[in-house]
Amino acid sequence: MPPQPWPAPRAGAPLRAEVTVPGSKSLTNRYLLLAALAEGPCVVINPLQSRDSQLMLAALQELGSTVEHIADWEGTGAPAVRITPLPSLTQSPEHSAGQASDPASGQDSGQASDQASGHASSEAASPREHSIDCGLAGTVMRFLPAVAALTGARVRFDGDPAARVRPMGPVLQALRDLGVEVSGAGTAQPGDVDYPGDADHLPFTVHARTGITGDAVTMDASASSQFISGMLLTAARMPRGLTLRHAGASVPSLEHVEMTCKVLAEVGVEVSSPAQHTWKVEPGAIPSFTVRVEPDLSNAGPFLCAAAAIGGEVSLRGWPKHSTQIGRRWTELLPAFGAEVLEEAETDSTVTLRVRGGSLRSPGTVDGTAELTPTVAALAALCEEPTRFTSVAHLRGHETDRIAALVTEIRRLGGQAEETEDGFTVLAPVTHGGLVRSYADHRMATFGAVLGLVIDSVEVEDIACTAKTMPDFPQLWAGLLESSSAAHI
C-alpha cells in the first residue's frame, strides 16, 4: 500500500523561527568526487547526508575508495567524512603493473596500473566490472561516467525509472569522442517501462579499454549544465587535461559551472575559460584537501519563502557572504516578491539572513531560476498577479518534467497556469486545497508544503522523496511551525 499523503501543516499566524539547513548537495557531491581523485585522503566537513550524497559515496566505494564517517570533526561538533582516493588512480605503473587489486572482488587485475597514466592495457582476461546506482541524482549520473572512464574498469550505470528518461547523450558522446567505449541498454529490455531504447540514456556501460585518448571535446550542454561540470571535474586526471567547448543554445544554470570552476581552483586544479563557453583544465595531481560545505541555499528556499508567503520572520544563520550556489539569488528573488531581506553580521564569511514577509506580490517575470523554480512557483501560485517563468525549458529534464508538473498541480488546486516555449506562466492563484503530486521530485514535494502553509487542506503525496536532498524535511518543517507558535505564546 502506498504511504498516506502528508497533511501539509497550515500556519495559523505569522512565523517567527530560526532554521538550519543541511550542507549543499552540489558542493558535497563535487568535493566527494574530487576527494576520490586526489593524491591522498581528504576530509569533507558538514557534508550533506541524503540520498543523493549517499549514492555518490556508494558509487565511489564501488570504484574502490574507502569512506569513514566522523561524528564530530576535531571537537567542532560538525560531522565529516574522510575519503581515500580510488586505488586505480593512485598506484604508479611501475609499482603496480600486473598486481593491482580489484576493489570489488579482491581479484587481481593488471588494468588499473596502466590506467594511472591514462593508458589502460589491452583488455585483461577478466576485466573488472562495477555497477553504479544513480538513483535519481543528476550529479551521480552526469559526474561519474568520466570518473569511471579513468579507472579503466567496465562500469555499468543505472538508476530509478524516472532517471532513465533524464538526458545523458552529450556526456556519453563526449566520452566516446575521447576514445571511451560507451554501450547502452545494459540488461534493460525495450519493453521495460520508461526504457528509451537507445545508448544515450541510463542504463549504459562505460569502458575505457585504451584509456582516455583525446584532450578536447565540443558538446551541446543546453539541456543541463551538469554535462559540462561532469567533464571538467575529472579533467585534471585525464592524461592531457581537457578543453571543453559548448556549442548550442545557452547553457542553463551557468552558476553551477562557475561553482565547478571555483571548487576545482579551491582544491588546486588549474582551470580557465579562454573564450566564451570554453573551459580548459590542465592535467595534474589534486593535492589532499580538507573543506567545509556551505549550507544548501536552494534547500533554504522553502523556509525563506514561508516567511514571504505567510508573513512574520524566518532567519537562517551561517548564510555565506559569497557563494557560487544559485540559491544566493534568494536575496534578490524574495524582495521581488515583496519580502524584506536583512543581512546581520555574523563571522568574516557568513551573515544571519532574516526574511520578513511583507505583502506578497509578483515581480511579473522571473528569468533562469533553474532548480529554484518549483519553490519560486509556490510563491507565484499565491500571488494575485501573473508570473512568467522564462529560460527554464531544461526543467523538462529534471527529476520530472517540472514544467508540466507545476502547471498540472497549480491547476489541480484551482489556479491557472500554462506552459510556454521556454517555461510557463502562472496566470491566477490557487484557490483550494487538495492532493499535490510529487512525481518522485523533492522540489515538487516542498512546493506543496509552501502552498499548504497558506491554503487549507493541502496534502503532499510521497513526502519521503524529499530524502533526495533533505531527509529531515518533515521534521524541519514541523520545527518551523512549532517554534513560531511558541514565539506567539
Ligand X SMILES: O=C(O)C1=C[C@@H](OP(=O)(O)O)[C@@H](O)[C@H](O)C1
Q: Interface with ligand PEP includes 371 (CB under 6 A)? A: yes
Q: CB burial class (10 A; 0-12, 13-18, 19+) of residue 232?
A: buried
Q: Total residues contacting ligand PEP (rule CB under 6 A)?
A: 9
Q: Which is nearer to ligand X, 387 or 469 (CB)?
A: 469
Contact 443, 437 (CB under 8 A): no
Question: How near is the Cβ of 164 to ligand X at its closest, in Å?
Answer: 16
Question: How near is the Cβ of 371 to ligand PEP at its closest, in Å?
Answer: 4
Among 164, 394, 437, 468, binds ligand X (CB under 6 A): 394
Q: Region of 74 please: left (phi>0), alpha (psi -120 to 50) or beta.
A: left
Catalytic residue ranges: 371
Among 128, 154, 156, 256, binds ligand X (CB under 6 A): 256
Q: Which is nearer to ligand PEP, 30 or 354 (CB)?
A: 30
Q: Interface with ligand PEP includes 443 (CB under 6 A)? A: yes
Question: How near is the Cβ of 136 to ligand PEP at its closest, in Å?
Answer: 6
- Residue 394 contacts which entry, ligand PEP, ligand X, none (Cβ below 5-8 A, type-dependent): ligand X
Q: Give the whole-angstrom CA distance, residue 39 versus residue 280.
A: 21
**Footprint of ligand PEP on 467-486 (CB under 6 A):** 469
Say if residue 402 carries a ligand binding annotation: yes
Interhelix angle for 442-454 vs 373-380, to 10°? 20
Q: Which residue has the cell 543546453?
A: 222
Say if residue 321 carries a ligand binding annotation: no
Question: How near is the Cβ of 217 to ligand X at its closest, in Å?
Answer: 18
- DSSP conformation class of 356: E
Give the 3-state secondary structure of 131-198. Answer: EEECCCCHHHHHHHHHHHHHHCCEEEEECCHHHHHCCCHHHHHHHHHCCCEEEECCCCCCCCCCCCCC
CB count, 10 Å around CB of 193? 7
Angle, CA 252 vertex, CA 249 and CA 254 arms, to 5°:
115
Question: How near is the Cβ of 437 to ligand X at its closest, in Å?
Answer: 20
Q: Which residue has the cell 491554503?
A: 455
Three-class SS state of 47: coil
Q: Interface with ligand PEP includes 201 (CB under 6 A)? A: no
- Residue 443 contacts which entry, ligand X, ligand PEP, none (Cβ below 5-8 A, type-dependent): ligand PEP
Q: Which is nearer to ligand PEP, 211 or 374 (CB)?
A: 374
Angle, CA 345 vertex, CA 341 and CA 350 arms, to 5°:
90
**Footprint of ligand X on 8-37 (CB under 6 A):** 26
CB count, 10 Å around CB of 338? 16
Question: How near is the Cβ of 225 to ligand X at its closest, in Å?
Answer: 3
- Residue 229 contacts which entry, ligand PEP, ligand X, none (Cβ below 5-8 A, type-dependent): ligand X
Q: Tell whether the torsion through CA atoms of 46, 50, 54 and 55 is positive or negative.
A: negative
- Residue 452 contacts which entry, ligand PEP, ligand X, none (Cβ below 5-8 A, type-dependent): none
- Residue 255 contacts which entry, ligand PEP, ligand X, none (Cβ below 5-8 A, type-dependent): none
Q: Interface with ligand X includes 229 (CB under 6 A)? A: yes
Stretch that binds ligand X, among 1-9, 104-112, 221-229, 300-308 (CB under 6 A): 221-229
Q: Interface with ligand X includes 375 (CB under 6 A)? A: no
> Which residue, judged by CB position, is nearest to ligand PEP in the bound state?
138
Q: Give the whole-angstrom CA distance, residue 173 versus residue 196.
A: 17
Largest CA distance in the chain: 73
Using CA atoms, how far residue 202 sits from 136, 160, 183, 198, 371, in Å, is: 11, 9, 10, 9, 22
Q: Interface with ligand X includes 47 (CB under 6 A)? A: no
Say if residue 226 carries a ligand binding annotation: yes
Question: How near is the Cβ of 50 to ligand X at its closest, in Å?
Answer: 12
Among 38, 153, 291, 370, binds ligand X (CB under 6 A): 370
Strands 80-83 and 67-70, sheet pairing: antiparallel
Per-position x/- string for 101-140, each x denoting binding to ligand PEP as judged by CB under 6 A, each - no binding: -----------------------------------xxxx-
Q: Residues marked as binding for phosphoenolpyruvate?
A: 25, 138, 166, 226, 402, 443, 468
Give the binding site for ligand X (CB under 6 A). Answer: 26, 138-139, 224-226, 229, 252-253, 256, 370-371, 394
